[in-house]
Amino acid sequence: MRLLTFLARRFIAGDTVENAISAVKNLNASGMTATLDILGENVKNQEQAIRTADSYISVLQTIADTGINSNISIKLTQMGLDISDQFCFDNVSRILDKAENLNIFVRIDMESSKYTERTLQLVYRWHEEYPNIGTVIQSYLYRSENDIKELNERQIRVRLCKGAYKEPKSAAFASKDDVNSNFIELTEMLIKDGNYPAIGSHDGAMVKAGMDLANKYSRSKDDFEFQMLYGVNRSAQRELVEHNYRMRIYTPFGTHWMPYYFRRLRERKENIIFIARHLFKD
């Protein structure tokens, strides 16, 4: 319990939206943008899912009122995907209406592979009406190459990450080298043909690959961005900003930090290693 509390202080922006806004102001002052995320997932109660959507709508208004440079990121299981696709679609559409009115971008997070197809089908539906929406693709999934082809064709913005859920061998690469190799191949697809891609990694080799591919395809530093987690590898974040790369920080907040961390740490030993490696880094 003490360890989890310590982790929360380092890697989560606080319990309240006021805490999160303060954290984002500090990031903005350092030349970084943010993505605000209210912690929570796997909601199976309609009333709770509606309340969470209402909270996001309030966060969007607060972003506009305070003038911070931030978008938002949401998990569909937090919005009622476990209840039904249509309920989730309607609930999230309320958030997208508000975000469109305020000209704020919304990222639909990707969860475990059992939700990937349903998530993408909903994203495709939303994107027909809301151009201010993007999603996430995980390089450890076999299917990701085809998914990125489709997303690039539709010009839907993608954040690429490696993936943090425990997946069956039938769905995901087991080898770290295979995951990394696929990450670089997918990065090339996004840099070449994607709509403002986001390269989400703390791995220096993956970051360098993004830089090299941007140079190869003459992609402007203003036409893609790197993304990292709040409190993780802060020196690398500052270095990217110093070299005039766009740096966005995924900034979670809220009171549901314990199940968030417990689940991530329990699912994959790689998550434990990742947290331990970055725990005392500046």
Distances (CA, A) of 60 to 47, 55, 104, 195, 251: 20, 9, 8, 23, 14
- Check residue 96 and give its pLDDT: 98
Report how many domains make up the chain.
Answer: 1
Mean pLDDT of 120-145: 98
Kindly tell me the burial class for residue 91, based on how many C-beta atoms sit within 10 Å of its own C-beta (0-12, 13-18, 19 or more). buried
Catalytic residue status for 159: yes
Catalytic residue status for 143: no
Q: Please tell me which residue in 107, 147, 157, 159 is annotated as part of the active site.
A: 159
- For 217-276, the pLDDT digits (tens) are 999 999 999 999 898 888 999 999 999 999 999 999 998 666 666 555 554 555 555 555
Mean pLDDT of 12-25: 94
Q: Rounded to an integer, what distance in angstroms lies between the CA atom of residue 105 and that of residue 71?
A: 5
- Check residue 282 and give its pLDDT: 64
- Check residue 164 and give its pLDDT: 83
Q: % helix / strand / coil in the chain, to the nearest 5?
A: 55, 15, 30
Residue 173, CA atoms < 13 Å, CB-side half-sphere: 19
Q: Which amino acid is at 171?
A: A
Domain containing 136 — which CATH number? 3.20.20.220
**Residue 161: beta bridge partners?**
138
Q: Mean pLDDT, the chain, as a whole number?
A: 91
% pLDDT > 90, the chain:
79
Rounded to 5 degrees, φ, ψ at 107 are -105, 125
Tokens of 215: 């140079």
Q: Please tell me which residue in 109, 147, 157, 264 is annotated as part of the active site.
A: 109
Strands (E), the chain: 33-38, 70-74, 106-108, 133-138, 157-161, 198-200, 225-229, 247-253
Rounded to 5 degrees, φ, ψ at 33 are -100, 180
- What DSSP character marks residue 273? H
Residue 80 belongs to what domain range?
2-278
- For 23-49, the pLDDT digits (tens) are 999 999 999 999 999 998 889 999 999
- For 154-190, the pLDDT digits (tens) are 999 999 999 988 899 999 999 999 999 999 999 999 9
- Check residue 182 and give its pLDDT: 98
- For 63-113, the pLDDT digits (tens) are 999 999 999 999 999 999 999 999 999 999 999 999 999 999 999 999 999
Nearest-CA neighbor of 240 among 199, 184, 277? 199
